[in-house]
Structure 1
Amino acid sequence: MIKLKTPEEIELMRESALVVSRTLGMLASEIKPGVTALYLDKLAEDFIREQGAEPGFLGMYDFPNTLNMSPNAQVVHGIPNAEPLKEGDIISVDCGALKNGYYGDHAYTFPVGEIAEETKKLLKVTKESLYLGIAQFKAGNRVGDVAYAIQNYCESHGYGVVRELVGHGLGKKLHEGPEMPNYGKRGRGKQFKEGLVVAIEPMINMGTRRIKQLKDGWTILTADGQPSAHFEHNVAIVNGKPELLSTYQYIYEALGIESDEEDQFHQKKLVL
């Protein structure tokens, strides 16, 4: 069910999203060779609670942890474990938080030390496709406009766009309508209206778009064992235009990266 949000609700949702943004920023400087996903998961749980929020994923659908941590060929929904990260790995960190009755939910794929050039390109293109999709998230457009922008860009680079997993509406529930696939045709699907809040999240594979699931019932992998990248933002339609509620600026601050990629999606100055 699609539930449009009032301006007041959108500001509460921004608070929830920024809990996640700050958490990902805190983790950014901790992700390095030798560190385990379980260690990072505990850091994240404590940090979310310190911000007056609750971990959004912990216990939901019986998920056992605070973070979805999906390294290398894992696409999404990886369960944190005690295996140390290695130089050259990548890891998608998907985090959720519940504050003031609303969810924040977004993700970033981190390099672990130095990674291969072809993997750097996969991360770069996937993140760029996210912003191309966000640019199409405006009043009057449709789900297919966002989906096509992401699919067309990623497939033009020879990558596989996962079909079985999609973005979603966001609010008092973690998953609301509409579904936000990363593939589709322009002009098709639900029409966007003022006050809609969604999570847009391209999941892009270096090789085949096909996936498989581990017996743990959670972890999704690429069918060919090649790497997968995942980036996700929370976005609202405000004054007919896309307004980012989440930010990667905490990550960039921690890693010493300068970027203006988000500027066009903030109608008022973001205060970190």
Structure 2
Amino acid sequence: MQASRGYKNSLVTLRGRDRIGIINAITANADAIAERDPKEFAQLQKDIEVVSLDRLIESFRRHLRRNSVEGAWQRLLELNPFLLSMLFGQPVVIIRPSASVGGQTIAGNGTKIADFLAANSITHNAALVEIKRPNTPLLGSEYRGGVYPASRDLLGSVTQVLDQRLKLLTSIAQTRYTSKINDLDVSAVECVVVAGQTPVGEELVASFELFRSQLKDVRIVTFDELLEKLKILRELLTGERYVSNIEDDESDWWDVVGSDLEEDDSCG
């Protein structure tokens, strides 16, 4: 009978103060729970992580379909900074979103703004991230014989982030002094462009890979590749492939925090 009541209680949807009360109770007693029931506590942590990851994946998918603006994607990375580590394959911390990296003229204009100035949390090596939109074309029209050149948008994005790196390198002394970040290292500034979605078709994929694999200083990551990284992370946590079980509506947490960003911005 007790088990039956426990099962029924597990189906109750908590709202408002009840939900906040449960969260506060778990937080306040976290050390005691971990000491008395370490396995249960570990499972609770894992369950929370999986639920949070599921919500993030669903939000990512919706913004992918909507072709959300650059500011919305920037906000998503701010809320989930571990995504930057996934982009670089290193432990990365955000130093500043929408960071000025230099380039100001004597007239006081021309400052270059990077979507993210980040750094390796161990070596302090600087990193720059430039974000475009999911519908950014990656390739142009066929050049000849099944060969497709990089698009104007992609070439522009690569040049843009390289220009930001140049401005950071030439103004690093002032940046360190005015921003009080003396440990920021610029020996080998890494650059990542997040743009578009993987082309469809053998020749298109081959041309895209030929182009980006030859870039020495800029890494190009597509939005669908980043989404796949999230799904793989979930698979590592659970041992099972991701299957959406959340109703595809328009009212998830990201819609709330990102709704004011769903218009064209000028940061890109």
Give TM-score scaled by structure 2 length: 0.29
| Bigger relative CO (Cα 8 Å, ≥ 6 apart) | 1
Higher strand content, 1 or 2: 1
Higher helix content, 1 or 2: 2
Rg larger in structure: 2
